[in-house]
Structure 1
Amino acid sequence: MDQFYTAHKKRQEFSPRYHQPYGLNLMKPSQQLNSPPYSSLSAHETSFHSSIINKDPKTISNAELKNLLDQHPKKLKKMRRKNPQQQLLILIDFISTLCRVPKSTLLSVAQNKFFTLLQMPFTDLLQRWRHSSSLTENEIYMFRSIVKLVKRFIKATDANEVLPSWLLDSMFLNIIADCLTNIATSEKFLYDTNNRLLKYFTRLIETYILYQEYFDDENHSDQDTFVLLLDPILQCLTSSHYINAFTNISEDKKSMTTIEKFILLKCPSFLISYNGNYAYYFFEEKYL
């Protein structure tokens, strides 16, 4: 985390967009190049940032992408002590670029250390959302970007060996489990101010559903890894939130709310997609 992300003591100081309403259409970080905090970049740092946002993701070569990935941690580390805002915003731009490169190009750099280093900032975002139930605007954008990148990785390959290993790390999954438990037991995660974060967290759960569907192979050594999420998912499905969502849903509604999609669609889908050895034991012992 030292290389990418600095804990932010005060939200007001961290994000120039913090006081803007949640419903506002915000500029992407790359659209703020001539305004703070980008205006304080040195010529060398501006050149590096331009090399990211001015690249056409669809035409970037494997070698060019590898070069950017290799130098990115070093550049951000130099910025860390100057201005954490620069660090985060440029990282967001870079991840957004990665989400748009061709699948074959993305897979060519799948083993790059850059993707391993994303675990720490993402873990920190999940932890602070779990404890405070809110994040700054830039942090929300960061959360969204990482989830989008992970989902793109899963859709791009049929070999789980090329995916970031931290996705299946037990400590990381336990943090997700804690978030699920908090959602099941607390009302604050259902407030309107949390709508986008819950939406992106739902997408994170969806990536694990996709993983289990894409790599549904009894020979995979990690097939039982997701047992860590079973009980928290079931807590959501047996919570008052589920009862309220199920009771209030109507045939006349043209679309589902974020909480309805999460608790009525994705939570059951996760259970259905789970194919580990503990499935029968878990349900028989706990719920039969």
Structure 2
Amino acid sequence: MDLRLGSLFEQCLILGQQQQIRMRWSLMLDYPSPNKIEMSLLECIEKCEGYSEVIQSSDVLVNIDSDIPPWIVYLLICNAYEHGDVRLVREYVEFGQKSIVIGGGIGIIATTLAQVSRRDVTVIEANPFLLNRLSQTARLNDVNFQIIYGAVKAGVKQGVTKFHISKEFWASSLRKDTWQSTSVIDVPVVDLGALLLDDYDVAFFDIEGEEEKIFDAIALPQRLSTIFVEIHKPTIGEKVGAKIMNKLWEQGYRLVDSEALTFCWKR
């Protein structure tokens, strides 16, 4: 790592502590945005071109490079990227449990599940630009993912669907109102109901608003004892969030913990 880049990363760590970035992501009811102090540092990161470095974020090795948006780079360096999700997984998943992640991102959650369960993890991801990153994260951490390319869509079991790619990859979704959408592509539909019949114990849902409909469309198998659901209330609203919770209660789950927008349920 060159000195300039190393200095920037060190500044990220220091600033993240000063600005309480982890607490902002845990407690704020909306998606936190960089403040004015952070913006100046993000502009410096934006100017760095062609870099590629492996760092440890929330005990997961991950490659960061100049293709990742600076805000996400900052959060990864500060151990604030999905840190609440990581905490919930480490606390409520057990050794030997079989897991599936719906919305894999760059593999932080899937890696944590694999580390805790000591088993391979199934990962569904609709963004084709993240598939290689998922594989890379698995290799870096010496874990195995079964990666399935496609999207889950309520009431649809096959075919293709429109998927909106966001400038910041974590916001990409099926929704027409996808934040900072840059392109729309066709992706295959994954039959989630059929897939969940494969004796999974744990499922992690991070599907950018599709949780609004998905639990009306499928019955979760009895063996699925632990589920994590990111309920995107800033996108879908509080009333819809309450509807999702009621639907899970009707299926026999009880809420045991939450952090930020992610909720852990068990039955």
TM-score normalised per structure 2: 0.29
Which structure dedicates a bigger proportion of its chain to strand?
Answer: 2
Which structure dedicates a bigger proportion of its chain to helix?
Answer: 1
TM-score normalised per structure 1: 0.27
